[in-house]
Chain A
Amino acid sequence: MPPIIDVRELTKSYRVHKKREGLMESVRGLFHREYSDVQAVRGINLQVEQGEFVAFLGPNGAGKTTTLKLLSGVINPTSGHATVMGFTPWERKNEYRRRFALVMGQKNQLWWDLPAQESYLLHQQIYGVPPDQFTATLNELTELLDVTKLLGQPVRELSLGERMKMELIAALLHSPDVLFLDEPTIGLDVIAQHNIQQFLRYYQEKRKITVLLTSHYMKDVAALCKRVVIVAGGLVQYDGSLAGIIDKFSGNKIVTLQFGIADRPSDLSRLGTLLDTNWPKVRISIARAEIPRVLAEALRDYTIEDVSVEDPPLEDVIADLFHQVA
């Protein structure tokens, strides 16, 4: 079966004009152009099978959101191909648009002054959802997210977390087969984040929809996705499992030594990079290849009571990776 999302060499670059203020300047700007090219996406290749839950991870400006917008048909690419469910997104065919949804964190599409209920009815009309299906879906979603009593309240009176839940419901009312989520939990408190993660996991497993999620938060990714795509500098830097990231990108491991002597030796730094000392425990970052040798030395030279070897935290690895690419 062909992949449900198939992206080949997708490229998007922007020509950024020098910013012009005022009408006269803008009109003048139509004749004399000063510009620079910004490459937001530089040739992304990606294949996603139906039912997968894929995370897009990357620093700011990496091109994650641009990619989602390209796949949603909101913007047109400079070059390259992509199909989602067999459709070319930027042709914006109605048949395509009623089968996917995009949710953007901290961006609101519901009518501000009206209760969410009214916006949902509008959605129903626009997407052409039959009434009984609409009612069933709405009930299911509001129960899952526990927002039934909020349906009648004007959206502007809701908290950030509650609004996000309402946005999610709006996106899922027409039972899309593909869901794009752009930083859905950004700016939310920990509890709200957790609730939404739980919901997404349950919903995706139950409905077997394909989900593409971009996020800054490791917790989102760890909780939800087996497959992680790291995007940085407009390119795919890594595509695989979470665990694999550490193997691929981290050259070091963290060794914790518990010493059995009273005084702290002064030459510990020859073992590796000292991270912190909480005598008698010392944490040292050591290159993987060196670990057998260093451990042997340490055990030989000092009295060691306890040893543990761990991977560095995922956040650090990824942060390092982002720094490298920038």
Chain B
Amino acid sequence: MQLASEESASKHGVYTSGTHLPNTLPRRLMTWWMVMRIALEERLAYRGDFALGTLMRFLPIITQIFLWGAVFSSLGDDSATGKKLGGYNFPDMVAYFLLTMIARAFSSMPGLAGGIASQIRQGEIKRYLIQPVDLVGFLLLSRLAHKLAYYFVATVPFAFVFFLCRGYFADGFPPAHLFVAFVGSLVMGFLLGFFLEATIGMIGFWFLEVSSLLFIFMLFSFFLSGHMFPLTLLPEGVLTVVNFLPFKYLAYFPAAIFLGKIPDDELPMELAIEAVWVAFFIIACRVMYSRGVKRYSGYGG
């Protein structure tokens, strides 16, 4: 499932129209604005539907709240000063899940890897080879446009839910430096999520059937990103391994920062490591793209 606007934009040659013009910044900005507008229109056209859909995405959290409520109450205490599991008491837990929704809104890239792989498989990549067009750059900007359009329209349902649940944020709003770190981790989460999936999509240059691999990856990513539970609940040995993986930055890390669960002395280090991971995947993506393009023998089409 590629984003509709990505598909239609590339099919209708939105990006490639006017390629006789120099590949300058103004032209790129124009194209980007166009993609952004399409994405926004899509969202707004179905906005009732969209708002309903966004609210429904919070439904699984309800069951999680009850589940953890039952777990904590069986430990004897589910209050704000209650027992902590992995550093999280019950209200923390609820706040955690809500925050991972925000983190996922930044880092999830539905259909990105699959879209790249299918473009490779169907030979649409050719278009990007004969023209001075940067596939990765285009996709990045289009995703950015989509996300911005999404945030614009999703702010209301999100704000509504957070307002309803404000009681779970026992410590209230985090101090300024933590909030800055939080925003930074969200931005890096977006980049990491994008380049990680783009790199996987690039595997399509070597293996035609990427979807199986992709699915297994998504499964691991879901589990190891902290989407299901705060990673600190994992047993020691497992936690050490998971800490070395990049997945935790996709959901767990920003939420943990916001809730003040990352000690101040470790925070800069963690952010730096995240930046390194981002850089790594940017490079990996680029390298695989150029290698893959060289190897490309024109499958499909």
Find out whether A and B make contact in their complex, taking CB atoms under 8 A apart as touching.
yes
Nearest Cβ distance between residue A82 and chain B, in whole angstroms?
41
Q: Does A21 contact B (CB under 8 A)?
A: yes
B side interface size, CB within 8 A: 7
A side interface size, CB within 8 A: 6
**Measured between alpha carbons, how far is A25 from B45 in the docked complex, in Å?**
10
**Measured between alpha carbons, how far is A56 from B195 in the docked complex, in Å?**
61
Determine whether the beta carbon of B45 is less than 8 Å from that of A21. yes
| Set of chain A residues within 8 Å of B50, measured between Cβ atoms | 22
Chain B residue at minimum C-beta to C-beta distance from A28:
B48
Nearest Cβ distance between residue A32 and chain B, in whole angstroms?
14
> Chain A 21-36 against B: per-residue CB contact (8 Å), 1 yes, 0 no?
1111100100000000
| Set of chain A residues within 8 Å of B163, measured between Cβ atoms | none
**Measured between alpha carbons, how far is A21 from B47 in the docked complex, in Å?**
10
Q: Does B52 contact A (CB under 8 A)?
A: yes
Determine whether the beta carbon of B45 is less than 8 Å from that of A23. no
| Set of chain A residues within 8 Å of B49, measured between Cβ atoms | 21-25
Chain B residue at minimum C-beta to C-beta distance from A27:
B48
Q: Does B46 contact A (CB under 8 A)?
A: yes
Q: Which of B27-50 contact A (CB under 8 A)?
A: 45-46, 48-50
Chain B at the A interface: mostly helix, strand, loop or mixed?
Answer: helix
Nearest Cβ distance between residue A26 and chain B, in whole angstroms?
9
Chain A residue at minimum C-beta to C-beta distance from B51:
A24
**Measured between alpha carbons, how far is A21 from B45 in the docked complex, in Å?**
8
Chain B residue at minimum C-beta to C-beta distance from A23:
B49
| Set of chain A residues within 8 Å of B45, measured between Cβ atoms | 21-22
**Measured between alpha carbons, how far is A24 from B53 in the docked complex, in Å?**
10
> Chain B 200-216 against A: per-residue CB contact (8 Å), 1 yes, 0 no?
00000000000000000
Chain B residue at minimum C-beta to C-beta distance from A24:
B48
- Residue picked from B45, B48, B50, B51, most chain A C-beta under 10 Å: B48
Nearest Cβ distance between residue A271 and chain B, in whole angstroms?
56
**Measured between alpha carbons, how far is A88 from B52 in the docked complex, in Å?**
44
Nearest Cβ distance between residue B49 and chain A, in whole angstroms?
3
Nearest Cβ distance between residue B45 and chain A, in whole angstroms?
7
Nearest Cβ distance between residue B157 and chain A, in whole angstroms?
13
**Measured between alpha carbons, how far is A22 from B52 in the docked complex, in Å?**
10
**Measured between alpha carbons, how far is A117 from B49 in the docked complex, in Å?**
44
> Chain A 1-39 against B: per-residue CB contact (8 Å), 1 yes, 0 no?
000000000000000000001111100100000000000
**Measured between alpha carbons, how far is A28 from B48 in the docked complex, in Å?**
10
**Measured between alpha carbons, how far is A22 from B48 in the docked complex, in Å?**
8
**Measured between alpha carbons, how far is A22 from B50 in the docked complex, in Å?**
8
| Set of chain B residues within 8 Å of A25, measured between Cβ atoms | 48-49
Nearest Cβ distance between residue B43 and chain A, in whole angstroms?
11
> Chain A 61-77 against B: per-residue CB contact (8 Å), 1 yes, 0 no?
00000000000000000
| Set of chain B residues within 8 Å of A28, measured between Cβ atoms | 48
**Measured between alpha carbons, how far is A24 from B46 in the docked complex, in Å?**
8
Q: Which of B7-66 contact A (CB under 8 A)?
A: 45-46, 48-52
Chain A residue at minimum C-beta to C-beta distance from B46:
A22
**Measured between alpha carbons, how far is A22 from B49 in the docked complex, in Å?**
5
| Set of chain B residues within 8 Å of A22, measured between Cβ atoms | 45-46, 48-50
**Measured between alpha carbons, how far is A28 from B49 in the docked complex, in Å?**
11
**Measured between alpha carbons, how far is A63 from B48 in the docked complex, in Å?**
37
Chain B residue at minimum C-beta to C-beta distance from A22:
B49
Q: Which of A178-195 contact B (CB under 8 A)?
A: none
**Measured between alpha carbons, how far is A23 from B45 in the docked complex, in Å?**
12
Nearest Cβ distance between residue B90 and chain A, in whole angstroms?
34
| Set of chain A residues within 8 Å of B46, measured between Cβ atoms | 21-22
| Set of chain B residues within 8 Å of A23, measured between Cβ atoms | 48-49, 52
**Measured between alpha carbons, how far is A24 from B48 in the docked complex, in Å?**
5
| Set of chain B residues within 8 Å of A21, measured between Cβ atoms | 45-46, 49
Nearest Cβ distance between residue B48 and chain A, in whole angstroms?
3
**Measured between alpha carbons, how far is A114 from B51 in the docked complex, in Å?**
42
| Set of chain A residues within 8 Å of B52, measured between Cβ atoms | 23-24
Q: Which of A78-103 contact B (CB under 8 A)?
A: none
**Measured between alpha carbons, how far is A93 from B48 in the docked complex, in Å?**
42
**Measured between alpha carbons, how far is A25 from B48 in the docked complex, in Å?**
7
What are 11 A-B contacts with C-beta separation under 8 Å?
A: A21-B46, A21-B49, A22-B45, A22-B48, A22-B49, A22-B50, A23-B52, A24-B49, A24-B51, A24-B52, A25-B48
The 7 closest A-B pairs by CB, nearest first: A24-B48, A22-B49, A22-B46, A23-B49, A24-B49, A22-B48, A24-B52
15 A-B pairs besides A22-B48, A24-B51, A25-B49 with CB distance below 8 A are A21-B45, A21-B46, A21-B49, A22-B45, A22-B46, A22-B49, A22-B50, A23-B48, A23-B49, A23-B52, A24-B48, A24-B49, A24-B52, A25-B48, A28-B48
User: Which residues of A line the B interface, CB within 8 A?
Assistant: 21-25, 28
